[in-house]
Amino acid sequence: MKLRFNYYPLLLLPLIFGCSEKSEDPRITQKIEELRLEVAPDKRVALWNISFENDSLKGETDQPQALETLTSSLKADGIDYINAVEELPQASLGDQTRALVTISVANIRSNPRHSAELATQALLGTPLKVLKKEGSWFLVQTPDGYLSWVDAAGIQLMTDEELASWFTKPKVVFTSLSGHIWDSPKEEMMVSDLVAGNILVAEESNGKWVKVSLPDGRTGWVEDETLMPWEQWIATRETSADKLITTAKSMMGIPYLWGGTSIKGVDCSGFTKTIYYLNGKVIPRDASQQINEGEQVDVDKNWDNLEVGDLLFFGEKATDEKKERVVHVGMWIGNNEFIHSRGRVRISSFDPDSPNFDEYELNRYLRTKRIINKQSDGVISVSELLTNE
């Protein structure tokens, strides 16, 4: 049997390829990448998802000034293009580009679904920037700059004016490790649970109990002895050795939770972040970000250089073939010991004779940084948390 070949499809190939999208212009791609490295080198805290294809700028960004710089550069070079980049916050949000967390601990995820990786958490009363909506999920930015997705049930959307109004109301901070808001002082029905660091509006007091309101309008009663006025709480925050150790040891045994930054569960950097937050400082979310802050005090395992509150970082050292990889962090508490979250919050030692000797962490030690009393761009005071910026 003879085979017959149909040559007509071959005639169509030039037409098919002639209609395909043009590849990216290397000049424009370079401009985009240079701006990314300048304004959004860490995608966890800034969005610069832009490409140039088929004579169009595409993607999204929350860096409008950088986008203006890019478009001005293209215009100056005489490059014709269509600007299809979506600037965030999303226009469909209208003027509701702010939010407050309305539950004790909001789980904030890497993608807009409950099955997605837990990226971080935010406590009740934490102000958020809202950038976009997808279904019932919102892409938000926490005060430490972290970008992730939160379910609508965990936040109250607000305008700038509504948030500014909330800032002016008298607020209290929940100071116990855990507790509840009750529908009445009789404690018959719970309105919400609470964890240390939750921020509420104080409505009235009857002595032993304080009536509080949540950002979504719910009200209830909390025992007065578990609350502290915001101004007093701020004034008493101190990142001293004693305060840091007391807070850290009060969390002993709390289970490890990937993405956790609260009393309900913490990962390693969530633990150090929580210790510092409860003592007046907001530090970056991840260990690989925290290591960029403060002053370096040791790289040679000279423990005499360390002070209580220093952060120890662990991971894989850089080689000729790969970059350094920071995967773990703990806090120095003196006596050759550090406290960290691995499996649970625990104390480990670098003393070979100690029952808590931790050879595993010793072998992957990288260096130690000091945040206390050190100026650092990525560290802010908790007092700056409730500002309408």
- Which residues are annotated as catalytic? 268, 328, 340
For 272, phi and psi rounded to 5 degrees?
A: -65, -35
Residues 103 and 168: their CA atoms lie apart, in Å, by 21
Question: Is 115 in contact with 101 (CB distance < 8 Å)?
Answer: no
Residue from 333, 335, 338 nearest 365 by CA: 338
Cα–Cα–Cα angle for 358, 263, 188, nearest 5°? 150
What is the spatial order of strands in the sheet that 365-370 belongs to? 295-298, 365-370, 311-316, 325-334, 337-342, 344-349
The residue assigned the tokens 């004016």 is: 161
